[in-house]
């Protein structure tokens, strides 16, 4: 067993004991952290694995929430379907945005996706018939074969299992041939092309996968929340997720998870103290970029990357 | 909508657009100058602008100084602060091999910190305006209705732009800034001290942001979240061509005019989304922007 396996085992133990030991609010926070973990994993795929600087995560998160929420409210299907629908719609939109993004690099890509994110927030705010606009939208609780998930405790096992599945999926993705191709594109798209990798298809699919993660995170959010307001789907949220990934360590799955948990906790704990939250946040961001720009888990990750992957000839 | 109405709206939209657009252009120049010389897309531009507004506000209303003192003090204070940030934080990030995402995140850190600091002082709790320096008497140009304040804003920002232009073309420091923007390595070889020039560029950007704040805040309410105005400046920089200073000016005026025309002809609700559409359309049709030159070919 490696250190990662022990960490996973410990996490599984803590997570399974937790619902018997703590109150509703703590469970809510844990649920929220699980959503952040999935969001950060999605950001990790597009920034960490494929090296594309995309800033529209909150928009896809929002699309996932609204899609799942509206479907739950209208048809009360098993929640797995509504969550998947949110993920699928996000993926399709991400794929389309990815098509535009192929023409751009670095800062232009960041700005274009930023513009898309802001435009989506405007859509959430103005398309009142569907989203309720600035009044927010009340959603019916999610369903599983007629069993309604009405509180954090009931949603908890499903949220945790979904997050675990997404984590497993990310690791599987990174270890696959596809993951190696993505990293080849990240290091040098010219070299990747020379090796016969379809660079455009890689970039575009990374966008779609990342968007799907965000959409599924949105669906998970509807499992334990019954109200959604567009205010929380702006650039701030995208930055929060970006921070998790970068401070955790770009290109490292451990980093994304650790960053998501740490920053999710900080933002939740300091929610009441807005100005203090902003100052602490700002100082952490600047400090990390000044003294540890590769994030917390960068070095360990590099050591792992040098070893040839199993089943791949060096 | 009759023809005369359309004509009136056009005149009004274009003239008001030039006024607000000239302020966006000032911020866009700051963004482009920083990006060209330091490779940093400064996401804290709006917050630096916001700080300019609050420094002026606290000096005028709390310290009770007169405008004649407040204007130079504000401009210098923000310029120095901006230069210090470059010196202390950005240089360090670049030295620790920070690239795109790291640089952006460092500026975002500054943005959060500044916003938090303003809220912490309590000044940000109520939206306020600066007292107008020039009266709000109406001025009729053609069929359009402006105020004397509008005219003053336009003239002042135009003057600032001309001065910046002269600086870039006729002073040593301006020429050095251009050289660093074109090719930092070559500039260094001919004896230009990179870090000093980069600091000067950030100082200039701070100066322009403070000026923009002084010009526009008598017209609009200032809050800690006013930084979103910088999104319009970003849109201006992208529309004009992200690495072109004349493009920044052109983009600023275009965004100002588009915003006003959309407000008059479509609806005031649509104003918010206009800049994003402008960004998306520009990036799809002409990714390098109007004056962005040839699309960059990536070197291997």
Q: Per residue in B115-145, pLDDT tens?
A: 999 988 888 788 888 887 777 788 888 778 8
Q: What is the DSSP letter of B222?
A: B
At B133 the pLDDT is 77
What's the rounded Cα separation, in Å, for the pair B163 and A55? 36
Contact A98, A212 (CB under 8 A): no
Contacts with B, A 173-192, CB within 8 Å: 188, 190
Q: Which residues make beta-bridge pairs with B145?
A: B140
Would you call A115 and B276 a contact, using CB atoms and an 8 Å cutoff? yes
Q: Hey, of B102, B121, B241, B299, which one would you mutate to test binding to chain A, going by the most A CBs within 10 A of its CB?
A: B102
What's the rounded Cα separation, in Å, for the pair B215 and A79? 53
Phi–psi pair at A228, nearest 5 degrees: -135, 135
Phi–psi pair at B24, nearest 5 degrees: -60, -40
Contact A137, A233 (CB under 8 A): no
Answer yes or no: is pLDDT of A238 > 50: yes
How sure is the predictor about A125, in pLDDT bands with cuts at 50, 70 and 90?
confident
Cβ-based contacts of B283 with chain A (< 8 Å) = 100, 103-104, 108, 111-112, 115
Would you call B273 and A119 a contact, using CB atoms and an 8 Å cutoff? yes
Residues in chain A: 314
Answer yes or no: is pLDDT of A313 > 70: no
At A106 the pLDDT is 67
B103 CB near a chain A CB, below 8 Å?
yes
Task: Count the Cβ atoms, other than its own, within 10 Å of residue A31.
Answer: 23
What's the rounded Cα separation, in Å, for the pair B41 and A243? 17
Cβ-based contacts of B273 with chain A (< 8 Å) = 119, 122, 126
List, for residues A197-227, the tens digit of each pLDDT value: 888 888 889 889 999 999 999 988 888 888 8
At B81 the pLDDT is 94
At B295 the pLDDT is 56
Cβ-based contacts of A199 with chain B (< 8 Å) = none
What average pLDDT does chain B have?
86
List, for residues A244-287, the tens digit of each pLDDT value: 888 888 888 888 888 898 888 888 887 777 778 888 888 988 98
- Three-state DSSP state, B141: strand
CA atoms within 13 A on the CB side of B195: 12
At A298 the pLDDT is 66
What average pLDDT does chain A have?
81
Task: Count the Cβ atoms, other than its own, within 10 Å of residue B193.
Answer: 13
What pairing do the DSSP bridges indicate for beta strands A227-228 and A137-138?
antiparallel
Nearest by Cα to B284 from A126, A112, A127: A112
List, for residues A286-310, the tens digit of each pLDDT value: 988 888 888 787 654 444 444 444 4
What's the rounded Cα separation, in Å, for the pair A149 and A141? 6
What's the rounded Cα separation, in Å, for the pair A188 and A137? 44
> Which among B101, B104, B300 has CB closest to A190?
B300
B112 CB near a chain A CB, below 8 Å?
yes
Nearest by Cα to A109 from A42, A207, A240: A207
How sure is the predictor about A145, in pLDDT bands with cuts at 50, 70 and 90?
low
Answer yes or no: is pLDDT of B287 > 80: no
pTM for the predicted model, two decimal places: 0.83
At A306 the pLDDT is 46
| Complex-level ipTM beyond the 0.90 threshold | no
Cβ-based contacts of A118 with chain B (< 8 Å) = 231, 276
A272 CB near a chain B CB, below 8 Å?
no
Answer yes or no: is pLDDT of B79 > 90: yes
What's the rounded Cα separation, in Å, for the pair A164 and A170? 10
Q: Tell me which chain B residue has its CA closest to the CA of residue A51.
A: B101
> Which among B115, B118, B238 has CB closest to A111?
B238
Would you call A276 and B116 a contact, using CB atoms and an 8 Å cutoff? yes
Task: Count the Cβ atoms, other than its own, within 10 Å of residue A269.
Answer: 12
Q: Which residues make beta-bridge pairs with A143?
A: A78, A148
Q: What angle do CA A248, A253, A258 make, to 5 degrees?
A: 40
- Three-state DSSP state, B292: coil
Cβ-based contacts of B231 with chain A (< 8 Å) = 118
At A146 the pLDDT is 62
Task: Count the Cβ atoms, other than its own, within 10 Å of residue A297.
Answer: 21
């Amino acid at each position: 067993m490696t250190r990662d396996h022990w960490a996973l085992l410990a996490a599984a133990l803590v997570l399974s004991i937790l619902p018997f030991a703590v109150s509703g609010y703590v469970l809510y926070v844990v649920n929220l952290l699980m959503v952040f973990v999935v969001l950060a994993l999605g950001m990790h795929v597009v920034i960490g694995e494929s090296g594309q600087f995309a800033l529209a995560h909150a928009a896809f998160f929002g699309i996932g929430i609204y899609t799942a929420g509206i479907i739950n409210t209208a048809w009360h299907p098993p929640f797995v379907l509504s969550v998947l629908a949110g993920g699928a719609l996000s993926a399709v939109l991400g794929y389309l945005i990815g098509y535009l993004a192929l023409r751009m690099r670095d800062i232009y890509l960041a700005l274009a996706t930023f513009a898309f994110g802001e435009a989506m927030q405007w859509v959430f705010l103005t398309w009142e018939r569907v989203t309720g606009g600035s009044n927010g939208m009340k959603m019916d609780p999610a369903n599983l074969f007629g069993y309604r998930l009405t509180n954090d405790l009931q949603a908890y096992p499903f949220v945790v299992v979904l997050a675990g599945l997404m984590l497993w999926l990310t690791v599987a993705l990174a270890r696959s041939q596809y993951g190696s191709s993505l990293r080849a594109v990240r290091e040098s798209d010219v070299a990747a092309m020379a090796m016969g990798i379809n660079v455009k298809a890689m970039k575009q699919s990374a966008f779609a996968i990342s968007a799907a993660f965000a959409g599924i995170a949105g669906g998970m959010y509807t499992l334990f929340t019954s109200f959604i307001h567009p205010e929380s789907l702006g650039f701030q949220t995208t930055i929060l997720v970006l921070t998790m990934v970068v401070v955790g360590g770009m290109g490292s799955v451990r980093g994304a998870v650790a960053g998501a948990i740490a920053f999710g906790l900080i933002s939740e704990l300091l929610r009441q103290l807005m100005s203090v939250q902003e100052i602490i946040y700002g100082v952490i961001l600047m400090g990390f970029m000044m003294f540890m720009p590769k994030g917390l888990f960068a070095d360990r990750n590099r050591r792992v990357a040098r070893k040839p992957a199993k089943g791949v000839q060096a | 909508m009759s023809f005369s109405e359309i004509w009136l709206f056009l005149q009004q939209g274009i003239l008001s657009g030039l006024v607000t657009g000239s302020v966006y252009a000032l911020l866009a120049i700051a963004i482009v100058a920083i990006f060209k010389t330091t490779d940093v897309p400064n996401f804290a531009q709006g917050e630096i602008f916001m700080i300019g507004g609050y420094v002026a506000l606290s000096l005028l209303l709390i310290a009770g100084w007169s405008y004649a003192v407040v204007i130079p003090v504000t401009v210098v204070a923000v310029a120095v602060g901006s230069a210090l940030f470059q010196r202390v934080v950005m240089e360090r990030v670049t030295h620790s091999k920070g690239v795109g995402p790291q640089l952006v995140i460092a500026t975002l850190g500054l943005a959060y910190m500044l916003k938090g600091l303003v809220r912490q002082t309590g000044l940000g709790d109520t939206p306020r305006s600066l007292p107008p320096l020039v009266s709000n008497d109406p001025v009729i140009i053609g069929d359009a209705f402006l105020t004397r304040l509008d005219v003053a804003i336009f003239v002042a920002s135009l003057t600032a732009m001309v001065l910046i232009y002269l600086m870039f073309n006729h002073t040593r420091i301006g020429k050095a800034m251009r050289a660093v923007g074109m090719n930092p390595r070559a500039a260094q070889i001919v004896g230009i001290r990179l870090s000093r020039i980069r600091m000067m560029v950030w100082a200039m950007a701070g100066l322009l942001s403070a000026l923009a704040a002084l010009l526009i805040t008598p017209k609009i309410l200032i809050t800690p979240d006013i930084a979103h105005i910088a999104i319009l400046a970003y849109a201006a920089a992208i529309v004009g061509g992200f690495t072109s200073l004349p493009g920044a000016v052109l983009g600023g005026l275009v965004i100002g005019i588009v915003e006003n025309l959309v407000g008059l002809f479509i609806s005031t609700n649509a104003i918010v989304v206009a800049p994003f559409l402008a960004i998306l359309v520009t990036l799809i049709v002409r990714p390098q922007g109007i004056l962005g030159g040839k699309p960059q070919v990536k070197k291997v």
